[in-house]
Amino acid sequence: MEKVVERFLKYVKYDTQSSMDTKTTPSTPGQMVLAEAIKKELEEIGLHDVSLDSNGYIMATLPSNTDAAVPTLGFIAHMDTALDASGKDINPQIVKSYQGGDIVLKNGLVLSPKEYPSLNNYKGQDIITTDGTTLLGADNKAGIAEIITTAEYLINNPEIKHGTIRIAFTPDEEIGEGADHFDVKKFNADFAYTIDGGEIGEIEMENFNAAHAKINIYGKSIHTGSAKGKLINSITVASELMNMLPAGQKPEYTEEYEGFFHVNDIRGKIEHTYLYMIIRDHDKPKFLEKKKLVEDMVKFLNAKYGEGTVVMELEDQYFNMREHIEPVMYIVDMAKQAMESVGVTPKQRAIRGGTDGARLTYMGLPTPNLFTGGHNFHGKLEYIPIPSMLKAVEVILKIVELNNNNKK
C-alpha cells in the first residue's frame, strides 16, 4: 500500500499542465512523456493489452481470474494538471503527523485551518502539501497512483477473485477535452469509475452542464487627440460585457446547485481583446437561459458598436450525467457499500465541475466519480492526506470484490 505514495510523488514531478492554445492532443508534450512512463510501468507490473495511442490515451487490462460471468469494470484517471497554477518543478512536502495549526509554505503562503477547517479532520495524519510555488497535482495524479497500486496489488494477490478490469488514463481533462478521443468500444467496459474526486468519501453522480465562450472583441484605434466619436476601445467593450453579467452569479458567490458565469482569461489592447468565459448550471433549463443571456449580450453590443465588433464561439463542453446514471444506480450503491465496508462514510455530492466521466456517460459508459482524498485542487494550497489515499485504494479493491456479486 505504501507504493501509492511513492508513485504519486514520482508522477507529480512530470510537468503535464494542459493548454487551451495548442489545438493538439495531447495539448502539451509533457503529458505524452508521462504517458510513456506509465505505459512502461503497466507492462512491468504485468497488465495485459497495454496500449498508448498517438493522442496520449493509455488503456490496459487485468484479465478475469474467475469463472463467473461478471460485468467488466473500468477505472479512469487523467494525466494533465490545471491551468490555474504552475505545474512545473513541483516540490511536494510531507507534514508528518500534523498536529493542527498553520502550515507555512513559501512566498508567504499559509495553509491554515482557520481558512480551510477541513484540515482539522486530519490531525495526527501525514499530509502531502505543495511548497507554495505550484499546485500539487493530486488532481489527478493521486487517482493514477491509486488505480495502478490497486492493479499491482491484485496481480500480486491472485487469490482475490475478480472479473475483467479495464484501466485508462486520459490527457486534457482540465481543458474539457479528456473524452474527445476516448474509444469507448475499445475500452469495452460495462461501467467505470473516474477516480478524480476530492476529500475522502466523495461520490458523485451528477455534475454541471457546461459550456465555454471564446469571445474576440475588435476595436478601432484613433489618436486620442481626435478620438471623439471614432475610437472604439475593445478593452472598454470587454469591461462592459463583463458588467452585464449577473453580479451574484459568479463562482465566489455560489455553492451547491447554484450555477455561474466565470471569466477566467482576458487579454487585450485597444484594437483587440480576447475574453474566455465558462458557463455552468446543474439545471438544464437554467443552463440554456444562461447561454441565451450571453448570446443576447453579444447581440446588444454589436448593435451598439457595429456588427462584427464582438465575435463569439459558444460551445457545449459536457452535460449532467445524472439522468444516465439513475438507470444503473446499483453502480453508485456498490461504491457506497465499498466505502462503508472499509470504514469510510460516503458523501454523495453534485460535482461543481465536471470529469471525463460526465462525457463518457453520455457516450454510453456510465461513469460516476470517486474520491482521491485531495483538497484545494488547482491552487498552491492543494494538499492530500496520505491515509485518504490508502483508503481510496481499499475502496477500489472492495468495489472489485463486490462486483463479483453482479451478473453480466
Which has the closest alpha carbon to 280: 265, 258, 252, 264?
A: 258
Instruction: Inform me whether the pLDDT recorded for 287 exceeds 90.
Output: yes
Q: Which CATH number fits domain 3-207+320-405: 3.40.30.10, 1.10.357.10, 3.40.1350.10, 3.40.630.10?
A: 3.40.630.10
Cβ burial 86-96 (10 Å sphere, 16+ → b, else e): ebeebebbebe
Instruction: Inform me whether the pLDDT recorded for 193 exceeds 90.
Output: yes
Q: What is the mean pLDDT of residues 263-275?
A: 96
Handedness of CA 169, 170, 176, 181 (dihedral sign): negative
**pLDDT grade for 408, boundaries at 50, 70 and 90:** confident
Instruction: Inform me whether the pLDDT recorded for 124 exceeds 70.
Output: yes
Q: Residue 352: what pLDDT?
A: 86
One of 139, 146, 172, 173 is an active-site residue; which one? 173
**pLDDT grade for 353, boundaries at 50, 70 and 90:** confident
Q: Residue 80: what pLDDT?
A: 97
Q: Residue 301: what pLDDT?
A: 98
Q: What percent of the chain has pLDDT over 70?
A: 100
Query: Cis peptide before 26, with omega less than 30 degrees from 0?
Result: yes
Q: What is the mean pLDDT of residues 49-53?
A: 98
**Sheet-wide strand order for 93-95:** 93-95, 127-129, 383-385
Q: H or E segment at 357?
A: helix 356-362
Q: Residue 1: what pLDDT?
A: 60
Q: What is the mean pLDDT of residues 240-250?
A: 96
Handedness of CA 137, 192, 75, 396 (dihedral sign): positive
Q: Residue 295: what pLDDT?
A: 98
The number of angstroms, rounded, from the C-alpha of 97 to the middle of its chain's C-alpha atoms is: 28
Quick check: 378 and 389 in contact, CB under 8 A? no
Which has the closest alpha carbon to 312: 346, 286, 356, 279?
A: 279
Three-state secondary structure call for residue 147: helix
pTM metric for this prediction: 0.85
Look-up of cell digits 508528518 = 96
**In whole angstroms, what is the distance from residue 151 CA to residue 157 CA?**
10
Q: Which CATH number fits domain 209-318: 3.90.580.10, 3.30.70.360, 3.40.50.2000, 3.40.50.1860?
A: 3.30.70.360
Domain map (residue ranges) of the chain: 3-207+320-405, 209-318
Quick check: 46 and 155 in contact, CB under 8 A? yes
C-alpha distances (whole Å) from 96 to each of 4, 12, 106, 305 are 17, 19, 18, 60
The number of angstroms, rounded, from the C-alpha of 189 to the middle of its chain's C-alpha atoms is: 21
- Classify the phi-psi angles of 378: left when phi > 0, otherwise alpha if psi is within -120 to 50, otherwise beta: left
Residue 173: active-site member? yes
